[in-house]
Structure 1
């Protein structure tokens, strides 16, 4: 990481994203609900970790961190500690990178830090660690393959449970139970299930609404191994699907497969999107898409399981999502289809063993 800082002309980096902290140190806790930070600088022999006192045991037991400061949440201002550590390292006037786009670093915290270090030059460095994480190691890939097997088991449990009269929350609970039985940790986003008209509401959370005969049911969840996620999205119909649902789902499956086929090393995310949309536009469907293609996927904590979103060029050992989900809200249904995909030397392939097709529950 110090090499990346030098390349970015940064003298220090303050990391607040819990996924990035875990990636660099192994620290694994919900402690990010309160302020925590990892300070990295060429001027520091070891990174400095700052967290509340409740995180002391996790720090020493679950990470490689050697230097940590623990603050009393009722008495101490953690941003003052960050400023003091930077000042003691001779960084009061330095170019310091901050993860300004993470949900664990608020505008108020930014203003507070600026007040303590008024002579420092701060700039957004949200992608510095994220870019380092794009290409996965063999061990990371093994974790994601394991997570993908868990996700498949969760989806199969959902299909087995679908029937008229069962509620969305019941299905989501069955998925969660199956994932836990398979060894999955809690995901950054809990299992999702939506039925009928709600299937067009892409990110709606499960509710007590029950499934009726003929309903489209969209399902989305992730398996998790050592915080590494493998997401999975599928659509089912309880009973006989309409001709329109069949037409849309068949074309979406074709576009989905084509997107995976074209996601080869050297190909841009934009080109994969273009190929997908070209197929969908045979019947004017690209305008109903609700997700981008190619978001990097891996280690994650709430509130999102994506690592980096941007106009990347695919490289071997990059893992990412292919999820050209559709919301035909005016027609009363949506279709979800998405996998975790791994780019290899010759091309990409899904980590799921489940066919990318509409599932019909008789």
Structure 2
């Protein structure tokens, strides 16, 4: 089946001199095939699915799944070819597949059974006892012994090697470089994610008012997300937010449960995170309870202007490591105290919230100090977080598609301070 992501993967395989790549990390499997299930959210140490892609376009793209999960593929593809592959290799998962082979005389198959049987026509070889055996059989059948093969999980390579000796390559960093540049179809999907992100952040702002319970606000955001098909980052729906220590509201890098109601003057950092259609929402705005002081409003506007200056540098050929200095110099020029407290991070986003195409470990200082050169069709999340103490913190974040010209914003929510100056009865109540 046609799959632009597989086309890009094959191009990159050829560039790296790899004959094939074996993917078993859930994000990589979803990237290559579109396959996903609830099993991946169990966060087991062992994978429940895999994908094999060869550099040679004449060879098939292979999906490796439990035999009993053919029905999941049928459901994924009911409204279109969301899960794509040329060949399926099957294996047993615990004894689910054994049990499913027995025919229940009291059950009518229905359309799902017919769809699953149609997909079963793509199965090659026999059902194997486990995922490693299924991968081994597929590689052997396609003559991969002695070939240079990338794996995103070294244990899979070790399990395959006794029967299919190969030249092992670690594919984790390789797959990050593949995934960070999006296909046209992925960018179009993210536009829809962006429209939902705008609704989520607007709903979050509508829940804020003097006297509101912070935990209740988070629960309300979570409820709105779930009712609209978004999987929240956790039970609190937000990464940033605030904690309460005695009578003081403390905006916090790592959100903790609230202990008191919101009061006038409280600054609330709204960074709503969640997954829609496999892609991460990551939008950040700052709100204040009641009317902001003139000084704080000025601080927000200075930060917004610095942010827009950095946005203008989101162009192909520009390194992300050049962005923090732009923000710092603007804050310094405007007399903002401690401009060094401005944290700027530009990172890729997609199947993961942080996609940094640098060699492991990329989430340390290298992610900012070294940075990476932006390319056309990357999705870049620009995160600007000021932790200044005199007036309080001020944060904002947006996602942009890198184009040949000006970057295309994926979120339309205004980069303005959210002012929660209404009574509870006046709050906006957008339906799900």
TM-score after normalising by structure 2: 0.69
- Are 1:186 and 2:237 an aligned pair? no
- In 1, Cα distance between equivalents of 2:186 and 2:10: 22
| Residue matched to 2:409 | 350
Q: Provide, for residues 183-221 of structure 1, a one-character-per-residue CA deviation record: whole Å limited to 9, x for no partner.
A: 443255662152356754224255565323321111112
Cα 1:255–1:56, aligned 2, differ >3 Å: closer, same or farther? same
- Are 1:46 and 2:99 an aligned pair? no
Tell me how far 1:149 sits from its aligned partner.
1.8
Tell me how far 1:315 sits from its aligned partner.
3.6
Cα 1:239–1:46, aligned 2, differ >3 Å: closer, same or farther? same
SS in 1 for 2:172: coil
Ranked by relative contact order (alpha carbons within 8 Å, sequence separation 6 or more), the top structure is: 1
Cα 1:72–1:230, aligned 2, differ >3 Å: closer, same or farther? closer
Tell me the number of residue pairs that the alignment of Structure 1 and Structure 2 aligns.
346
SS in 1 for 2:393: strand
| Alignment map for 1:199-348 (pairs within 5 Å) | 200-204=251-255, 207=258, 210-222=261-273, 225-241=276-292, 245-246=296-297, 248-282=299-333, 283=336, 285=338, 287-290=340-343, 292-293=345-346, 295-298=347-350, 300=351, 304-310=352-358, 311-328=371-388, 333-348=392-407
SS in 2 for 1:274: helix
Cα 1:332–1:72, aligned 2, differ >3 Å: closer, same or farther? farther
- In 2, Cα distance between equivalents of 1:173 and 1:10: 47
Out of 139, 143, 147, the position equivalent to 1:94 is: 147
In structure 1, the gaps of 5 or more residues are 100-104
SS in 2 for 1:305: coil
Tell me how far 1:268 sits from its aligned partner.
2.0
Q: Find the structure with the greater CA-based Rg.
A: 2
- Residues 273 and 280 of structure 2 are in contact (CA less than 8 Å); yes or no, is this contact kept in structure 1? yes
Cα 1:345–1:2, aligned 2, differ >3 Å: closer, same or farther? closer
| Alignment map for 1:9-88 (pairs within 5 Å) | 9-32=17-40, 33-34=43-44, 35=47, 36-42=49-55, 45-53=59-67, 55-62=69-76, 63-65=83-85, 66-73=87-94, 76-88=129-141
SS in 2 for 1:38: strand
| CA RMSD in angstroms, aligned pairs only | 3.2
| Alignment map for 1:115-126 (pairs within 5 Å) | 116-117=160-161, 119-126=165-172
Cα 1:55–1:287, aligned 2, differ >3 Å: closer, same or farther? farther
Q: Provide, for residues 48-92 of structure 1, a one-character-per-residue CA deviation record: whole Å limited to 9, x for no partner.
A: 333345533223442223313132236955334434433444434
Tell me how far 1:141 sits from its aligned partner.
2.8
- Residues 323 and 337 of structure 1 are in contact (CA less than 8 Å); yes or no, is this contact kept in structure 2? yes
SS in 2 for 1:140: helix
- Residues 184 and 225 of structure 1 are in contact (CA less than 8 Å); yes or no, is this contact kept in structure 2? yes
- In 2, Cα distance between equivalents of 1:112 and 1:135: 26
- Residues 218 and 233 of structure 1 are in contact (CA less than 8 Å); yes or no, is this contact kept in structure 2? yes
In structure 2, the gaps of 5 or more residues are 1-8, 77-82, 97-128, 359-370, 422-432
- Residues 147 and 223 of structure 1 are in contact (CA less than 8 Å); yes or no, is this contact kept in structure 2? no
Tell me how far 1:122 sits from its aligned partner.
2.2
- Residues 348 and 381 of structure 2 are in contact (CA less than 8 Å); yes or no, is this contact kept in structure 1? yes
Q: Provide, for residues 3-51 of structure 1, a one-character-per-residue CA deviation record: whole Å limited to 9, x for no partner.
A: 3212211122111232332232221323323412212224783233333
